[in-house]
Structure 1
Amino acid sequence: MLKAKRTHPLGLLLHIANAIKECWFLFIIIFTLYNQPLWFALGWAGVIIAIFIWPTTRWATLSYRVTPTAVEVNSGVFVRHHEHIPYSRIQTVQRKQWFFLAPFKLEELYIETASHDDSKPEARLAAVPTTLADTIDTYRLGAVTSPTGAPDTMATTDTAGTDDAPVTAATTVTAHYRINNRTLLKFAFTSTGFIPLLLILLAIYNKIPRNWTDTLIADATHLALVVLVGGAVAVVVIAWIGAFLWTYIRYFHFDVALQGDQLKTAKGLFQRNTITAPLKRIQAIRVKQNIFRQWLHIQTVQVLLASKAASKDDDDDLVILPAVPQSQLYDVAPPFVSWLPDHTPDLGDLNVADHRKWYLVRNALLIVLAPVALASYFLPHWMGAFALILVIAFFQGRFAARQTGGGLITPRMLALQTGHMWTKETYYLPVDMIQSVRLNQSIWMKRTGLMHLIVNVRHGNKNQAIELRYLKAEQAQHIYDWYLETV
């Protein structure tokens, strides 16, 4: 019987770092108690327990064992847990290698099955040998391809004496793509991640003591407009540079390969993040393009998985092609997912005609009208800025109406296109992966012969609802009838 092992001592650093990330709010609480010595001391004691003692205890009590049939993980301090994970139940294997682990040939390993909790995978092994994931992948392939449905242990008997010994997989790479630096720069340049960063910077500004800002404004009264405009531009530039660097570092040397029936992506500069997911877990394909990338004619391809392995990716979905020229998309993508079309499909069957676009514009305006009116009442000197929000909402409604489209591109494939938050998204949905189709029609819509079409697919452990609004009733009914006849 194989002996259970502990993770490398460097894994303790990862446990401590994770504890700091989860308990950052404790530091804020402590600094609010600096004038109360007793509570201040107790607060620091709690921090030491939370980010040092508890992670150390958890690391010391965790062990793992890899056998030809399953991965076993033992954990728990006061209550011991024993996880037995057969290879046939594993959905995704995720590998994360920080730069300081690379010289020691170590990495962080995440193993996930369909029954995992939304917030964490079944197993997280910090700082294990890089050969361990290769061994698990080979055993997984044996479990999947065995004609009897059981893992094929005959070919791996010789390596059963050590769970860290590499086992060479026989599958070959049938498709491969690596992003070049020029395309990566375009991808990072057009990231919309600067918007949340901009909001964070504005929130920080609001926390600056008011006497500081008043002094600054008083000293620059004669340059008030210049200071105001220059400060706004500086904040936007800082947010954009931050988003650019964040995206560039995350997708540095992005690489995707199809090996057998497994998709494998790898990316990252300081942390190399590798995700392996089986093709059969793909629920849908999403092709997305924000408004900036529409100007540069580049698109991003993602897969919606029945797992949370890509929860840190763009929109929580696994990116397989970060930035592909629009003209090359249907040449580059189909080798990885064979059921994708090989040409740009016609999505005109489901659309919002000119006289119905007003409904989407009206809805976008209604969402912001009450908050803008309330804010304008309490802050009348900002009324011009609030009016700009209404203008943005108006054009967002028109954008959503123009991007709405869809249709049946094969007898068993549905394509739907939406426009949401200045991003065009096209979904490719095999009928076998569609969980349900729903039609919504209010009493007012019935008089005008309109319907909403909602198609539901699995997304992680949750549901992804794709909705096309204000379609003609016969258009939506046609898709509903197709689904009933095909499933």
Structure 2
Amino acid sequence: MIYEKQRLPLLCIGLYWFKNCKNFLVLAFLLVFKLFNDAPSLPMILGGILLFLLVCLIFAVLSYTRFTFQIDQTSVLVNKGLFIQKQTILPFERIQTIQENHYFYLRPFKLAEVKLESAASSSGEAEILFPALPLVLIASIEASKKAAATPQEPTAQAASGEEPTNNYATVFSGEETANPPLETFTLKFKEIFLFSITDFSVFTLVLVIGYNVLDNIPNLFAYASELQQLGLLLGAALLLGLLILFFFLAIARNLFRYYGFTVETNQQQLLITQGLFSKRHQTIPLARIQGLSVEQNLYRRIFHLSSVKLLLAAGSSSESDDTVYLFPILKEAQLTETLARFLPEWSFQQTALVKNPRPNFWYFCRWPLLLGLLAVGISAFFFWWLALIFFVFFGSFVLSSIWRGKIQGYQFLDNHVLLCQTIRGLSKVTAYLKKNKIQDFTVTTTYWQHKKGLGKSQLTIKTEDTLTESKLFYFPLTEAEKLRRWFLS
């Protein structure tokens, strides 16, 4: 499969034009206000708008003509750059992630945005970005990447000169496959809705602000005139209405983002498909998974639900601000069995966690307790409501710290996988870490903690451009020694 030098679809001129208009819109407004101190006439306004659109179009055409690419049997080569020409060569065997964004305005033309990422890709930035490519060409790239990752003997199909096919690429285009993925997980609409309404940050914000508004209205009413009372009622109703609107918008955002969420695997890579208006396909090789994080906030703990996040190596994630979920929401009873189906090389069978038999809760809660008492005591002399806020804020930290002391622990699932359980904020976090993915192991202790045989054990893995740490606070040093021996074995 060898392609000559090619250009992007003509539709990309429009994409570049829209991007230029969006990027330079603020600069154009500032320039207009600088040039025209007085109110400009209507012809001047229209002329300025047309000039701005024309300049953006010229730069869009130049960007389009300066972008060429070539695909052969071993690599993808891209030349781009308006004033400085940049050439990027990415061999298929170095491609770690292929992400497709099927935006609604590209679907009628059977096009999709494509990002090719390698280990050298920085967080949130792909090695190669195609604004739009035909689905047939995307399927060829997928097939070439798969062939480079798993070399095979020439088949009868290849000998006949037919185009190679790829199950995942066919799934992208919605066609039926003769060899379906080995495992498939689909998130139902009611599960997406449950995931949205149990979002801790959204629900807590609405609950706390709404409660404070309703709690303070009677006190304010006692010292207000009838007109002021009417204003207070209208203001409170408007605030609560905005909070409810914010709550439903947050739910709608999750519904649009995770609509049609599907995970498929062929035991070599994962294909994650999601999105309503912007349908996104992301291919993640299993070898790039650094670890798993199973998280359960207070609300989901009530319903025995958890979320499973992927901890990915650099170049495996799509966007720096976007969490990659393996399963956005899953019942606890199905967790172990479902994880084992999709990641058979990992061990998930739990027996009993190794915990601190006598946790020293004073160590865990001393700092939030002391700071909280100080903040509440000082603020109580000035504003009682501020003291109440500090009491709730630091009180939650104290409870979280005590909870961490009771629940944190670890377990060797086998000689290669470690389970580490702790508390982060008000959520229980269970991390599954592979030994060969752990970058370092650190034990920290003080003189007084050492006398009591306690210390902080920390395991670090590299994810994207950051380090993800699993910590066991004030844990027995004898257990830290067991962790060290396992890490070095």
- Provide TM-score, normalisation by structure 1: 0.81
321, 325, 334: which is aligned to 1:328?
334
CA contact (8 A) 2:314 2:463 kept: yes
Structure 1 gaps of 5+ residues are 203-216
Query: Are the equivalent residues in 1 in contact too, given 2:421–2:429 (CA < 8 A)?
Result: yes
Aligned counterpart in structure 1 of residue 183 of structure 2, from 175, 182, 193: 175
Question: How far off its partner does 1:45 sit?
Answer: 11
Q: For residues 346 and 229 of structure 1, do their structure 2 counterparts lie closer, same or farther at Cα, with a shift above 3 Å needed?
A: farther
Structure 2 residue runs without a partner (length 5+): 40-44, 172-176, 211-223
Q: Cα distance, 1:443 vs. partner?
A: 2.4
| d(CA) in 2 for partners of 1:365, 1:21 | 49
Is 1:122 equivalent to 2:127 in the alignment?
yes
Larger radius of gyration: 2
| Residues 237-316 of structure 1 aligned to structure 2 (within 5 Å) | 237-312=244-319, 316=322
Deviation at 1:147, TM superposition (A): 6.7
1:317-341 Cα offsets, whole Å, 9 max, x none, are: 4212121111111122211111344
Q: Matches of 2:363 and 2:32 in 1, distance apart?
A: 51
CA shift digits 1:149-176 (9 cap, x unpaired): xx99x93893689xxxx89999651111
Structure 2 SS opposite 1:333: helix
> Structure 1, residues 87-146: CA drift from partner, whole Å, max 9, x if none?
100000000011121111110000000112334111110121112222111111111112
8 Å CA contact 2:437, 2:461 repeated in 1: yes
Query: Contact between 2:419 and 2:431, CA under 8 Å: does it hold in 1?
Result: yes
Correspondence 1:427-466 to 2 at 5 A: 427-466=431-470
State the shift of 1:73 in Å.
Answer: 1.0
The Cα shift of 1:389 comes to 2.0
Letter in 2 for 1:249: F
Shift of 1:64: 1.8
Measured in 2, the distance between the counterparts of 1:64 and 1:194 equals 44
1:338 corresponds to: 344
What pairs with 1:42-441 in structure 2 (closer than 5 Å)?
54-146=59-151, 155=158, 158=161, 172-192=180-200, 194=202, 220-223=227-230, 226=233, 230-312=237-319, 316-341=322-347, 343-347=349-353, 349-351=354-356, 355-365=359-369, 382-441=386-445
Equivalent AA in structure 2 for residue 175 of structure 1: E
- Mapped to 1, the partners of 2:395 and 2:200 lie a distance apart of 19
Percent identity between matched residues is 23
Deviation of 1:280 (Å)? 0.9
Q: Evaluate the alpha carbon distance shift between residue 260 and residue 417 of structure 1 in structure 2; reply closer, same or farther with a 3 A threshold.
A: closer
Q: Alpha-carbon deviations, 1:431-455, whole Å to 9, x = none? A: 1111111111122322332111110
Contact 1:97 1:271 in 2 (8 A): yes
Return the alpha-carbon distance in structure 2 between the equivalents of residues 123 and 341 of structure 1: 35
RMSD over equivalenced CA pairs, Å: 4.1
Partner of 1:3: 4
- The alignment partner of 2:471 has SS state of strand
Deviation (angstroms), 1:383: 3.5
| Equivalent-residue separation in structure 2 for 1:399 and 1:454 (angstroms) | 19
Partner Cα separation in structure 2 for residue 308 and residue 368 of structure 1:
41
Q: Out of 57-66 and 19-28, give the one that drifted further.
A: 19-28
For 1:4, the aligned partner's letter is K
Q: Deviations over 1:260-286 (max 9, x none)?
A: 511101000000011001111111111
Q: Structure 1 156/15 Cα, relative in aligned 2: closer, same or farther at 3 Å?
A: farther
The Cα shift of 1:362 comes to 2.7
